[in-house]
Structure 1
């Protein structure tokens, strides 16, 4: 599968430490546990090669272990230069025998070298988070891409990219949009991003959220979660939106809504979660309040216009781990967290284990489903089959010890009819 020692991740002590963290996370992943128990018997992925480009965390390691338990040959690389936890990568390589090409803080060239090393294994399936693996495969290895059975995509940004590829006729195989599953975006994006983004900001700054003005740019599922958690910690939340429906929803959720220039002058904290470029752009920088903390919860580090920030600053320096200070010409100081990359992963450990249990169960079950659909699906982006999504929800409820009601035959008949009325 390839030699990983050039990434300096064969340290056995580091690997043992990572394994302890992986096992700790496993305790709170009951849905994946049930999938593993079934797959150890049925081996639905026997002989299937899977290349996964994901954030290398303890939760991801447990997904990889489940895929391997189901018979797959798994190889991993990182989906973000700052999201790799090196002890987890070491554990995957040394303890669990799952080749992992990843190291925290790599440069652009090394990042794509790792992706290509993963693709060198000739995968039958791809699992992606942000679509860098898929786009590299299609741009640089089109003939190899045409031989892939299928893939899945974890996050909103990646699904947007894949749908653009499909519209342009540039996607060569079917991909399941795991992000669109109800048991993914309703929980992972909202509760996961909400908690983990605040966690990352607090770890990086140790500043008080209560009483602060906290600006959330973008009110999709991720933005909703961040706003709710900031408000829960006592912040005055301001939402910036371009979508009138989402803006109206933010108002009715009790938040102030305004434009970016107005919000910039009030903000103590700004978090972007739009999936688009320059949500905090060149034109907004002169309005930023002295001492503002800028961070990003979107997949790529393009939501804050960092080149414009550099141009308008008279100096910059790293004041503490993951916190860079830009001093503007007029003396204002602007602080950027984690180089504008995913604050929850670069400054913290990412989403809570319990939500990733559901997201990664969708990934695992979608991989097995794609194998059963080989030759039946044309290239394109597909939803997670409802039966998989519902199964994940029911398994999670069962893990919580919760029983829900069932419709009676009479109720089903009523809902299927039109004759009954007032």
Structure 2
């Protein structure tokens, strides 16, 4: 079975690798410069094909890799392939949340000196273990992790962490266009329902929320926005969306999609009001934006339709449909594809060049969370324009 998994992953990666031209270029340079020689990189990030190409690139640059995925999104064939390449990989797709936490602890226990984090789980583990002194620095992929670094973990991180999500390139290329496209495509694939004419409520008008709303409306969906930031709400209104409180939209929306990075956006009061038959979807990193425990506590019964669709019965002869158990739908749902290959080529080039700066020019950075250096953003923008042949 393991050999079959490795063969399947190898076949998939042949296609993925061929479409990631930016990483291909930097792999050639890293093979000579070896910026990560002598470093052990600990990673907590979705283990799927595009991430495998990222890890290959770091390994070509001399890094020893110790990694785990995120809960519910790990792809077992990719794990088998990476292990076959000599990397230390923890985790499987059907891991429980408790096992996922144990996997993160295993990466921390391996004593990496550079971190590639997603949601700040590794940084939190390093803080709890009191091992911050051994860390050279790292990167953080997400909005949610950036919030943790600047709030929960503020003043506890004595090394630089470059927040990839702060890059305008990631915001535009990956969050708005790639997340927007993949969330809408995943909704259509998982539910087999049409978008045109359906009423959608998108909670959050950050870059991901903007993208989801944009692609829903482009396909004919009716879209309302929930946003607590007055300026973003104003922008959403000028962009032509209905803007209201989530409770006021509870009996209007047919599909509710959370994209905020914050917990309990859809909670008990919302569940008391939501219209019969509504669908609940999350595309944020953590499975906390929909308060699934509160929903289950309120439920009078449930039926698993398939691995990604669950009917949950509520008082008053109502029901809602929960997609992917409230986890990130485009990576934790059935037949996960995630963001487009080209967008992750761009996003992972941000990762590797930022990690290169951490490894080779730490003195140019400050302790704690910080944005991607402007020089890296501009270099990658030039490379991406050339790859796209945008002048033609």
- What TM-score, normalized by structure 1, do the two folds share? 0.89
Note the residue ranges of structure 1 that are not aligned, 5 or more in a row.
1-9, 405-422
What's the secondary structure of 2:110's corresponding residue?
Answer: coil
**1-structure distance, mates of 2:307, 2:290:** 19
Q: Which residue of 1 is the match for residue 65 of structure 2?
A: 74
- Given the alignment, which residue of 195, 213, 230 partners 1:209? 195
CA drift at 1:25: 1.1
Asked if 1 retains the 8 angstrom alpha-carbon contact of 2:124 and 2:153, the reply is no
Q: Which residue of 1 is the match for residue 320 of structure 2?
A: 334
Whichever of the two has the greater Rg, that structure is 1
- Residue deviations 1:85-143 (CA, integer Å, cap 9, x gap): 1111111112x22221121121122112211222232211000011111101111x11x
Asked if 1 retains the 8 angstrom alpha-carbon contact of 2:346 and 2:384, the reply is yes
Closer/same/farther in 2, CA of residues 120 and 308 from structure 1, 3 Å limit:
closer
- Given the alignment, which residue of 231, 240, 258 partners 1:245? 231
- Residue deviations 1:261-303 (CA, integer Å, cap 9, x gap): 1211011111001111111111111221211110101111111
Q: Which residue of 2 is the match for residue 316 of structure 1?
A: 302
**1-structure distance, mates of 2:30, 2:263:** 41
- Given the alignment, which residue of 319, 333, 355 partners 2:343? 355
- Residue deviations 1:14-56 (CA, integer Å, cap 9, x gap): 1110121122111221111111111112111112110111000
**2-structure distance, mates of 1:166, 1:338:** 29
CA drift at 1:344: 0.9
What's the secondary structure of 1:41's corresponding residue?
Answer: helix
In the TM superposition, what are the counterparts of 1:9-408 in structure 2 within 5 Å?
11-78=2-69, 80-94=70-84, 96-139=85-128, 141-142=129-130, 144-165=131-152, 167=154, 169-347=155-333, 348-374=336-362, 377-403=365-391
> How many residues are paired up?
390
Closer/same/farther in 2, CA of residues 304 and 185 from structure 1, 3 Å limit:
same
**2-structure distance, mates of 1:243, 1:329:** 33
What's the secondary structure of 2:377's corresponding residue?
Answer: helix
Asked if 2 retains the 8 angstrom alpha-carbon contact of 1:166 and 1:379, the reply is no
Q: Which residue of 2 is the match for residue 411 of structure 1?
A: none
Closer/same/farther in 2, CA of residues 251 and 377 from structure 1, 3 Å limit:
closer
CA drift at 1:219: 0.6
CA drift at 1:375: 5.3
Bigger Cα displacement from structure 2, 319-328 vs 304-313 = 304-313
**1-structure distance, mates of 2:76, 2:186:** 17
- Residue deviations 1:305-335 (CA, integer Å, cap 9, x gap): 2122112221112112211111112111100
- What TM-score, normalized by structure 2, do the two folds share? 0.96
CA drift at 1:165: 4.7
**2-structure distance, mates of 1:369, 1:403:** 30
- Residue deviations 1:204-224 (CA, integer Å, cap 9, x gap): 211111110011011100000
Superposition misfits of 4+ residues, deviation over 3 angstroms = 374-378
Asked if 2 retains the 8 angstrom alpha-carbon contact of 1:322 and 1:337, the reply is yes
Note the residue ranges of structure 2 that are not aligned, 5 or more in a row.
none
The CA RMSD over aligned residues, in Å, is 1.5
**1-structure distance, mates of 2:13, 2:166:** 26
CA drift at 1:372: 2.1
Closer/same/farther in 2, CA of residues 165 and 331 from structure 1, 3 Å limit:
closer
